[in-house]
A = this chain, B = another copy of it.
Amino acid sequence: MKIAIIFGAVSYEHEISIVSAIAMKSLLKGEIVYIFCDSNREFYHIPTAQIKSKLFSSGDYKKSPKLTLKNGGFYQKSLMKEKRVDFDFALNLSHGADGEDGKIASLLEFFEIPFIGPRVDASVMSFNKLFTKLYAKSLGVEVVDFEVLKKGAYKISIDYPVIIKPLRLGSSIGVSIVRDADALEYALDVAYEFDDEVLVEPFIEGVKEYNLAGLKADEYIFSIVEEPQKETFLDFDKKYLDFSRTSQVQKADIDSYLEENLKLAFQKVYGRLFEGALIRCDFFVVEGKVILNEINPIPGSMANYLFTDFNDAIKRLSQTLPQSKKISIDYQYIHSIQKAKGK
C-alpha cells in the first residue's frame, strides 16, 4: 500500500503534526508519500528520504515540489504537464485546526481523495467541545458537567476546582485548572486568547482516566485500554511524547466488565459519524460510571502504541472507507423549464 500522509497546516499543533508524521516512517509498512501543508496553506511533496524536523524549521521544505489540489488528487507540475501524485489513500495527520476542524477533511472529500480521518461532520462535532457533549448525551453517553462562557463573561456557576478550556482547540493549549475565585479571571483571559467561547467543567481530583482507541472496518478493531500516566494534566511539552511514541504501552489493569463498558461507549460515539477514522476516546470512570471526557479524532501518531497490530488496523480501515453517495446531475429540471418557456 502507498499512503499519502497529510500533515502540518495552520494550527497550534503544526509542529507536533510534523513529529507525528515523522513517527509514521518507522511504523507503517508500505510506501509513504509525504504531503506537507505549510503555514501559507501551500502543499509540498516532501521526498520520504529527506523527512526530518529540521527540513521544516529551516524552511528548506520549500525546495520540494509544490502541489495543487484538484479533483482526484494532488497534482505536481513537470515541464509542460501536470502529474497526479500517486498513492492508494491519504492519512490525515494534521492535528488541531485545519486538520481536525473539518477543513482538510472537506478538501479531501470535495476532491474525492480517499482518506483515513474524520469526515467534515465528525470533525466539527469533535473539535467543538460543546457539540461533542450534546452529541454524546443524545446517544446516552455520559459527559462531564459543563457550562459555556462567552468572551467577557467571568461568572461561573460550577463549584471549584474547575478546569477551563478554550471551546475549540484540539490540544492542552489555553487549558487551566482553577482552584479558587482569585485565579479565575486570569485563567479565563488565557482561554479567551484562543477562543471567544470557553468551556468550564468541574475538575475531578484523582479521577480514574482510561484511553481507548479504535476504528470500524469490516468489524470494530479496538486498541488496548491505557491508563494514561497521571499528571495534573498533560501540558504541551508532555503531550509531545504522545506524538513521537512508537513502542507499545502497558494495558490498564481493569476488569473485563469495565473494558466492555468502555468499548460500548466508544461504539455509541463512533457510530456512523466517525466512519473512516481511527479515533481515541478519553474516558473518566467515577464510581464505575463511564464518562466521556474527549474525542481525539486524529490522535498523536495515530495512537499506534495502543494497538497490537497497528499496520493491520490501518490496512483494514483503508479497505472499508466510507463512499460518498453518487448524485447524478442530468439537468432534467432546467430542461423542463426551457420546454415550458418554449411553448
Contacts and interface: CB of A to CB of B under 8 A. Distances in A.
Interface stretch (A100-108, A259-267, A292-300, A306-314): A100-108
A57 B102 contact: no
B335 A57 contact: yes
For the residues of A in contact with B, the DSSP-based class is helix
A112 interface: yes
A125 B98 CA distance: 18
Interface stretch (A7-15, A153-161, A215-223, A281-289): A7-15
Interface stretch (A28-36, A63-71, A175-183, A199-207): A63-71
Interface in A111-127: 111-112, 120-121, 124-125, 127
A334 interface: yes
Interface in A74-100: 97-98
A49 interface: no
A227 B103 CA distance: 37
Nearest to A11: B327
A54 to B, nearest CB: 6
A97 B325 CA distance: 11
Given A41-B71, A69-B69, A134-B135, A329 B102 contact: no
Contacts of A334: 15, 18-19, 53-54, 56-57
Interface residues of A, number: 61
A197 interface: yes
Interface of A: 10-12, 14-16, 18-19, 39-42, 53-54, 56-57, 68-71, 97-98, 101-107, 109-112, 120-121, 124-125, 127-128, 130-131, 134-135, 138, 150, 194, 196-197, 236, 240, 272, 325, 327-329, 331, 333-335, 337-338
A102 B106 contact: yes
B128 A121 contact: yes
A12 B327 contact: yes
Nearest to A55: B334
B196 A272 contact: yes
Given A41-B110, A102-B106, A124-B124, 16 more contacts: A15-B331, A39-B329, A42-B70, A53-B334, A53-B337, A53-B338, A68-B70, A103-B106, A103-B109, A104-B106, A107-B107, A121-B124, A121-B127, A131-B131, A134-B134, A240-B333
Contacts of A111: 41
B331 A57 contact: yes
B131 A125 contact: yes
B102 A120 contact: yes
Nearest to A333: B15
A295 to B, nearest CB: 15
A18 B337 CA distance: 13
